[in-house]
A and B are shown apart, each in its own frame.
Chain A
Amino acid sequence: MNPGDISPLTILIAAIFTNNILLSNYLGMCSFIALSRRLDTAVGMGLAVTFVSTFTTALNWVIYHRVLARGALSFLPGGLGDRIQLEIFALIVFIAVIAAFVQVVEMVLERFSPAMHQALGLFLPLITVNCAILGVALFMVIRGYGFFQAVAYGFGSGLGWLLAVLLMAGLRRRLRFSTVPRGLEGVGITLIVTGIMAMAFMAFAGMVRIQ
């Protein structure tokens, strides 16, 4: 199927369930393991990731397709626009956009919603190095999504990550009261449980398909 034909809604649902950024693309593992220890931090980080990934994906799409992509600047005189190659800069630009966006959001929250800033402020700086956000931007380019598809993908991936980290935080709360083999405590058991979760999510596979 041509990726351009998939409806944004399908992509949204696929990004949450069948192609979960964490459970099927393994992205965002570092913060997943670190922040699923407590339920409240998991919620905070999950919301922050969802918010940032939605908006930065939109921003990055516009910048990539209107400036960086081959031929995007063809209005420049003398055929210069067709010769310019900016695609290789995409990586740096994406990171810079994410970092700048996070900074601005932090300032906006601090000014207009101190309560939100209290809740999310701690997590926003961590997002800059969360590979899920950058991964979403890179997948969006590789899969050739259109604007609305990209936004749906960014939003869905954020929600998918939120869902996974929430489930994990709940499970880990139970795990605290169960006997786990010594060497498996902490990271080990988290990985195993994530595997079981990934298995459960595979049951969604028949629902929609985007790849």
Chain B
Amino acid sequence: MNRHLATLVTPIWKENPIFFHVLGICSALAVTTRVSNALVMGAAVTCTAAATGVFVSLLRPVVQRSVRLVVEMLVIATFVILFDVMLKAFWYDMSRQLGPYVGLIVTNCILLGRAEAFALKNPVLPSLLDGVGSGLGYSWVLVVVAIFRESLGAGTLLGLRVLPEGAAPAQALFLPPGAFFLMGLLVWGLHAVRRRP
């Protein structure tokens, strides 16, 4: 049981995909203007990562090595499309706001990377946990970035006002440069925290 817990927790903090492997930065920057967007995007990545892990692990005995990349891509694309279609059907506004970035989960290296590095070698349960862990590790970073950007950039959190009336929000955080700066500083902060024993 402990081992399973470790599989789940390691990618959340110790080997966080965004900070440790520098994977998936694109969407981490693009969808973090609102906390709600970040939450939905995080959910999308977590669900697809978990489902991909399970399926790639299940397909292990039948898939030959030479075609495994194609199969992995197909599995990932299928789940991403499923999520995209459901989002369009049940929450059209959100789907419009996220734009192509849901589809772009397909090229998010976290999914392919974890499928290649983990699910291809491990049984179903650990693969599921690893997928969930990687997804959560990705999600919390997204949400943290989004909390900064939304609260300081628009003065709201999940649509509720947090900055006092009259305080001018720093709109620069909404724009691309702000996103890059914030991400850079976050990487810095995390490195500083982690180096401390």
Residues of A participating in the B interface, judged by any CB pair closer than 8 Å? 23-30, 33-34, 88-89, 91-92, 95, 99, 129-131, 134-135, 138-139, 142, 181-184, 187-192, 194-196, 198-199, 202
With A95-B77, A198-B176 as contacts: A183 and B103 at CB distance below 8 Å: no
Bound complex: CA A34 to CA B25 (Å): 12
Bound complex: CA A183 to CA B181 (Å): 15
In the complex, which residues of chain B have a beta carbon less than 8 angstroms from the beta carbon of A142? 99-100
How many cross-chain pairs have Cβ atoms below 8 Å apart between A and B?
117
With A27-B104, A95-B106, A189-B184 as contacts: A33 and B81 at CB distance below 8 Å: no
- On whether the beta carbons of A33 and B177 are closer than 8 Å, the reply is no
B179 contacts the other chain (CB 8 A): yes
- Residues of B in contact (CB 8 Å), total 42
A194 to chain B, nearest CB (A): 5
In the complex, which residues of chain B have a beta carbon less than 8 angstroms from the beta carbon of A27? 26, 30, 104
- On whether the beta carbons of B187 and A187 are closer than 8 Å, the reply is yes
Point out the residue from B22, B106, B176 that lies within 8 Å of A33, measured CB to CB: B22
* Chain B residue nearest in CB terms to A89: B81
In the complex, which residues of chain A have a beta carbon less than 8 angstroms from the beta carbon of B177? 195-196, 198-199, 202
Contact code string B32-71 (vs A, CB < 8 Å = 1, else 0): 0000000000000000000000000000000000000010
Bound complex: CA A185 to CA B167 (Å): 34
B163 contacts the other chain (CB 8 A): no
In the complex, which residues of chain A have a beta carbon less than 8 angstroms from the beta carbon of B70? 99
- On whether the beta carbons of A188 and B26 are closer than 8 Å, the reply is no
In the complex, which residues of chain B have a beta carbon less than 8 angstroms from the beta carbon of A191? 180-181, 183-184, 187
B53 to chain A, nearest CB (A): 18
22 CB-based A-B contacts, threshold 8 Å: A26-B26, A27-B104, A33-B22, A33-B25, A89-B81, A91-B81, A91-B84, A91-B103, A92-B81, A95-B77, A131-B107, A135-B100, A138-B100, A142-B99, A183-B188, A183-B189, A184-B184, A184-B187, A184-B191, A187-B184, A189-B184, A192-B180
Contact code string B72-89 (vs A, CB < 8 Å = 1, else 0): 011001101100110000
- On whether the beta carbons of A23 and B100 are closer than 8 Å, the reply is no
B144 contacts the other chain (CB 8 A): no
- On whether the beta carbons of B176 and A23 are closer than 8 Å, the reply is yes
- From A99, A181, A188, A190, residue with most partner B Cβ within 10 Å: A188
In the complex, which residues of chain B have a beta carbon less than 8 angstroms from the beta carbon of A184? 184, 187-188, 191
Q: Which 10 A-B pairs have the closest CB atoms?
A: A195-B180, A191-B184, A183-B191, A138-B100, A192-B184, A131-B107, A26-B29, A199-B177, A188-B187, A29-B25
